[in-house]
C-alpha cells in the first residue's frame, strides 16, 4: 500500500495521517509463525523543516512458543515507528535501516511497517522479557516457582565441607 505524500513534500509543517493493517502470518521464527493476528500500524508523516518524519505505532498480538521455557504464550506487542523518508538514498555509507526511500512521492507503508516490525522482534521469542526458563537439571518451569534442585548441595561443596570438618 502506497501512502501519497505529494501534498506535504514541499510544505514544511504539513502532515498526512496513515493507518494500515498487514498480514505477517508467513513470518517464521524457529518452528513457528507467531504473528497470527493482523499487524496494525497507525501514525503520521510530518514534514519537519523539510525532512519527512514518519512516527506512529505498530501493534499486534503474537501467539508463540517461548524459546526459553517452551510454553505457549500470547503477548501484546507495541513497537514505535520512528523513521525518516527520503527521496533518494544517499551513498552507501549513510545507509541506515531507519531511513526509507520514497517511491516517487509515495511511501511504501507495507514495506516500512514490515521492516520496523521484523527489526524489533526479539531474536529470541520469549513469553516475557524476564522469563526464568527451565531448570537445566530437572526441567521444571522456573516461572512457576523454584524446583528442588537448588536445595540440594552441590557435591563439590559437600566434599569441601567434609574437608573443613577435619
User: 59 or 140, CB closer to Zn ion?
Assistant: 140
Distance, first Cα to last Cα, the chain: 78
Task: Please report how close the Cβ of residue 123 comes to Zn ion at its closest, in angstroms.
Answer: 15
- From residue 107, give the alpha-carbon distance in Å to each of 48, 64, 68, 92, 146: 16, 31, 38, 20, 51
Q: Residue 27 is placed in which grid cell?
A: 513470518
- Minimum CB–partner distance for residue 67 and Zn ion (Å): 7
Q: How far apart are CA 39 and CA 23, in angstroms?
A: 6
Residues that bind Zn ion (CB under 5 A): 66, 68-69, 127, 131, 135, 137-138, 140, 147, 149
What residues have CB less than 8 Å from 94, skipping those under 6 apart?
none
CB of 155 to Zn ion, least distance (A): 15
Q: Which is nearer to Zn ion, 86 or 147 (CB)?
A: 147
Q: How far is the CB of 34 from Zn ion (least distance, A)?
A: 13
Q: How far is the CB of 144 from Zn ion (least distance, A)?
A: 11
Quick check: helix, strand or coil at residue 143? helix
Nearer to Zn ion, 69 or 112 (CB): 69
Nearer to Zn ion, 107 or 142 (CB): 142
**In sequence order, what E strands does 23-165 have?**
39-48, 51-65, 72-86, 99-101, 106-108
C-beta closer to Zn ion: residue 53 or 126? 126
Amino acid at each position: 500500500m502506497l501512502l501519497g505524500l505529494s501534498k506535504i513534500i514541499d510544505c514544511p509543517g504539513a502532515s498526512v495521517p496513515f493507518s494500515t493493517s498487514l498480514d505477517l502470518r508467513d513470518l517464521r521464527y524457529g518452528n513457528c509463525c507467531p504473528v497470527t493476528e493482523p499487524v496494525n500500524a497507525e501514525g503520521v508523516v510530518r514534514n519537519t523543516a523539510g525532512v519527512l518524519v514518519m512516527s506512529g505505532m505498530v501493534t499486534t498480538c503474537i501467539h508463540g512458543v517461548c524459546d526459553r521455557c517452551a510454553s505457549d504464550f500470547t503477548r501484546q506487542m507495541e513497537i514505535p515507528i520512528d523513521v525518516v523518508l527520503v527521496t533518494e538514498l544517499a551513498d552507501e555509507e549513510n545507509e541506515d535501516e531507519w531511513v526509507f526511500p520514497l517511491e516517487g512521492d509515495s511511501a511504501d507503508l507495507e514495506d516500512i511497517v514490515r521492516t520496523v516490525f521484523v527489526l524489533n522482534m526479539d531474536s529470541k521469542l520469549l513469553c516475557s522479557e524476564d522469563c526464568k526458563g527451565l531448570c537445566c537439571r530437572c526441567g521444571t518451569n522456573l516461572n512457576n516457582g523454584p524446583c528442588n534442585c537448588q536445595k540440594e548441595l552441590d557435591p563439590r561443596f559437600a566434599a569441601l565441607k567434609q574437608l573443613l570438618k577435619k
